[in-house]
Amino acid sequence: MRPLASAAAAAALLVVLVGCSAPGGDMTNPPTSGRPSFQTTGPIPSTGTPVTLSDAQLAAIEADLATRGVTAEFTVDSAVAVTWPDGSWGCPEPGKAYTQALVPGVHAKVSADGKGYDYRFGNGPTPRLCDKR
């Protein structure tokens, strides 16, 4: 009776596996549902809206520059409102993990002593210098 039970179990498993398989056809072009597909491309475009940096943001940039030995007065070349695609604020560091959520913020470019600095802000006044080399 044991071989019959094994054969029945194997037949049942075969029916389940065949029933769960996808029908034949080209799976490279699945049907569309009328809504756009999920995209994982770079930063969401900035709003293009120029913003004025707050006193706290300016003070934070000045403090960060001082830690880098820059004591000259800096000028704000541009500051625009952006929505970063994740917690890296558009400047990920290798080996680090970031929250996967949209983060409203500011992209500010400043210059001092003839050198440019690329600062990123999230929700608060603390910047991150994006030093892509």
Per residue in 50-91, pLDDT (tens digit) is 999 999 999 999 999 999 999 999 999 999 999 999 999 999
What does the pLDDT look like over 9-25, one tens digit per residue? 665 555 555 455 555 54
Query: Confidence class of residue 97 from pLDDT cuts 50, 70 and 90?
Result: very high
For the beta sheet containing 127-129, the strands, ordered from the edge strand earlier in sequence to the opposite edge, are: 75-84, 103-112, 115-121, 127-129
The pLDDT value recorded for residue 114 is: 93
Radius of gyration of the chain, Cα coordinates, nearest whole angstrom: 27
Q: How many CB atoms lie within 10 A of CB 90?
A: 21
Name the token pair of 128.
């991150």
Percent above pLDDT 90 for the chain: 59
CA 77 from centroid of its chain's CA atoms: 25
CA 112 from centroid of its chain's CA atoms: 29
pTM of the model: 0.64
Average pLDDT over residues 35-63: 74
The pLDDT value recorded for residue 102 is: 93
